Amino acid sequence: MKSLINIAVIIALVFAFTGCNKPENKQVANTKLAIIPEPETVKLTSGNFSINKNTTVYCNNESLLPVANYFNKKVSDALGFNLKIVVGEGDGINLILSDDSDNILGNEGYKLNVTKKSIAIIANKANGVFYGLQTLRQMLPPQIKSKTLQFDIKWSVPCAEIQDRPRFVWRGLMLDVSRHFFTKEEVKEYIDQLAEYKMNIFHWHLTDDQGWRIEIESLPKLTEKGAWRAERVGDWWQREPRGKDEPTIYGGFYSHDDIREVVKYAQERFVEIIPEIDVPGHSLSTIVAYPEISCTHTVKDINVGNKFYTVDENSLCVGNDQTFEYLDKIFTEIAALFPSEYIHVGGDECYKGFWEKCPKCQKRMHDEHLENTKELQSYFIKRMEKLLHEKNKKLIGWDEILEGGLAPNATVMSWRGMENGIKAAKAGHKVIMTPTKNCYLDLYQGEPSVEPATYSMSRLSDSYSFEPVPEGINPKLILGGQGNLWTESVPNFWHAEYMTWPRGWALAEVFWSPKENRNWEDFVSRVEKHFERADFAKINYAQSMYNAIVTPVSGENGELKIKLDTEIKDLDIYYTFDNTNPYYLSSKYESLLSVPKNASRIRINTYKGEKPVGKLISLDIGMLEGKLKK
């Protein structure tokens, strides 16, 4: 019986994914296929191409065989059979590298033509074919990760003509593995998921105050001491420091072989890994391992999430030549492990108070004629740029590297809003835009009372409304952007997925699709289809877009009024003040609410028709009044 139910679900999804009847919208090229990111142009034609046990994948070039094998591996579990893969052309799925380069498609674009007899994916480069296959996969029903359920059903793809290419060359996600360690298998899974949405950059934040995560053979204490800390749960910055003789058993690191394995895995998915070694600040785990390159030599324990900033030293001593000797050893090994032309050196939130009291740092400032510690950090970054250049690498840093003067060829990652990115671009530097409001995936994505604890707010609509190119700035200097998942409040991988999706889907569309194609309502309808796909693939995600938005406002006489809203349209909001849970027969929100006398709580939920879709929100009236007074 369960198998029959699943077959029915799959058949229903075939129709759901290939025949959504939406009105024509001039701003949206694709009105029927639930594809993320939205392709540049889509023309649907009549009929379907059927995939069966006799379907062959043809490659017109042997270099496409790995791409074909990737596709087969991804779909074979759901199909219940393997596709035959050969070099050549025929009636089947044709993967074609163009003999004559199409300037319109560039290095990553593709054409996808589906007829009743065959499918053709044409591109100038193998990665373009790979992205075409990702679109093709989304034209199929959801693909199950398990081989335990196989169905004898007809798999079909709607006939269509698609032309597509990315808007930006930098389309990334960052994962912080210092605050909480993620295994190499989890990292590979994260890379796989971002690649399926045509993202091509994985920014790997490998070191910070709470852990050093990569083996450096010439400096073994970095992982012997720096990769392990006392085990803790609870709110970040509210934890007790490590106690005397408390074991340091929480953590982990990646060996050189692990790194090579992950790099190879990413390359097979046309994802470039950007390693980040965060210096000169955020280096507490470094100086615990090697205190001789700190200013005070006093820090003994890896931070566990307790308050320490400005109290415990976490910056490298820039006045010590030994610091640069150690950094040369570190980046020599990093450069050999990662083929990317870029290495990220952090440069953010560097507390300079210990430099001001350090004789070695003060001597460096005197010898180099530096007026203040901001210029001392600039000295450090410029020296790092030279060190990386000697290893044929380019430097990227967070936007604080602008302070005191920017290194000549540095690329700036602008996170404190867009202003510093604009400043860097006006000075002729390449910029990656990743402002907190739109791109920080560790922030709340809905009403905080029903979300896992974190701070600040970045809703799905904030991510989708992001525009990386400011007015008046040369767009050629904006490489693109990325989402950043800091993991202070992300202790495991399934929560990393929850925080990433669907906001990561929104950013994938921002970075890939033409700006003029963006349409919020259409995107939401496609997200709902991708929720279904994620369910089948056992990928966690947040449904926070369905939750009510609650805003306390002041009435004419300063009394509390309550405004309710939703992030997406076509939801009804029901509420109660009598301490019962709202139902679709409860009071429906129509306009600004007054609070009844002696009411202690308001409870709220959103519905589609008679079905609840949001999370039940229960808020204390006194708390709302307190927010209003602030």
Catalytic residue numbers, as ranges: 208, 282, 349
Q: Which secondary structure element, helix H or strand E, spans residue 289, and what is its range?
A: helix 284-289
Closest CA to 379 of 419, 415, 340, 352: 352
CA angle 191, 192, 198 (to 5 degrees): 90
How is residue 287 written in tokens? 């100086």
Cα–Cα distance measured from residue 486 to residue 374, given in angstroms and rounded to the nearest whole number: 25
How is residue 226 written in tokens? 């720096």
Cα–Cα distance measured from residue 431 to residue 425, given in angstroms and rounded to the nearest whole number: 6
Query: First CA to last CA across the chain, in angstroms?
Result: 57
How is residue 209 written in tokens? 């105050």
What single letter denotes the amino acid at residue 202? F
Cα–Cα distance measured from residue 110 to residue 96, given in angstroms and rounded to the nearest whole number: 10
Q: Which residue has the tokens 């060190």?
A: 387
Q: CA torsion 603→609→614→620, rounded to 10°? A: -10
Helix (H, G, I), strand (E, B) or coil at 519: coil
Residue ranges with strand state E in 439-499: 478-485
Cα–Cα distance measured from residue 305 to residue 303, given in angstroms and rounded to the nearest whole number: 6
Phi, psi (degrees; rounded to nearest 5) at 96? -130, 120
Strand partners, 158: 48
Rg (the chain; Cα; Å): 27
Strand partners, 88: none
Write the CA distances from 500 to 202, 340, 444, 507, 546, integer angstroms. Answer: 13, 24, 11, 10, 16
How is residue 435 written in tokens? 């402002």
Helix (H, G, I), strand (E, B) or coil at 50: strand
Q: For residue 247, is the peptide bond before it cis, meaning its omega torsion is within 30 degrees of 0?
A: no
Pairing of strands 110-114, 155-164: antiparallel
Note whether 40 and 161 are within 8 A (CB): no
